[in-house]
Structure 1
Amino acid sequence: MTRIRIRMPDLVPAGQAFTIRALITHPMETGLRLDRTGLTVPRRIIHRFVCTLDDIPVIDIAFEPAISADPFVEFDAVAERSGVLQFHWHDESGEVHSASRHLKVI
């Protein structure tokens, strides 16, 4: 089960940097580990994280197989107007895990 947690302020001053923290529960299997029966656990990693504000890119990160399970990202952003922040984690299996938060700029 995938769980997403996002921490960010609900209200930010226009033009001032603020911090966004995002965590997704994901096993990040590299395809190198063996299960109890000795079979290889299939590779399944998140290879990309994208955050947009009203469809305008804020950050786009490419993950490598060596990243740990439950990837956590922290980054600063600046907004000039209120909008919806969209968060997308792209899994190699084709799944896209998403979340969104409303951001109010004063």
Structure 2
Amino acid sequence: ESRPDGRGANRNARLFRAAARLPVQQHTGTTTVRVAAPIQVADEDLVVRRLHGLSPLAGTDVDALLRNLGCRTLVVTGVSANVAIPNAVFDAVNLGYTA
């Protein structure tokens, strides 16, 4: 997810610069960043936005939320098997989780 003005987004790697040139942008509030069907967000769900980086654990409240919920083991899934998934697993292990 990113802001339309690009503020807060990474620009320090070719991957980010290439993503900024794609015809479909993942801007806050657009359909490209909505939770995909058939998944539905319930009132009790915790939703965390991320405007930068390659891992959901870096620069977000995800670590604090998981610890407060008593989570120690993470099952990591997603669509970016070559970038986001490995980064999330490495970050989780470095933070002491079993992944």
TM-score (norm 1): 0.25
Q: Judging by fraction of residues, say which structure has more strand.
A: 1
**Which structure's relative contact order is higher, taking Cα pairs within 8 Å and 6+ residues apart?**
1
Q: Judging by fraction of residues, say which structure has more helix.
A: 2
Larger Rg: 1
TM-score (norm 2): 0.26
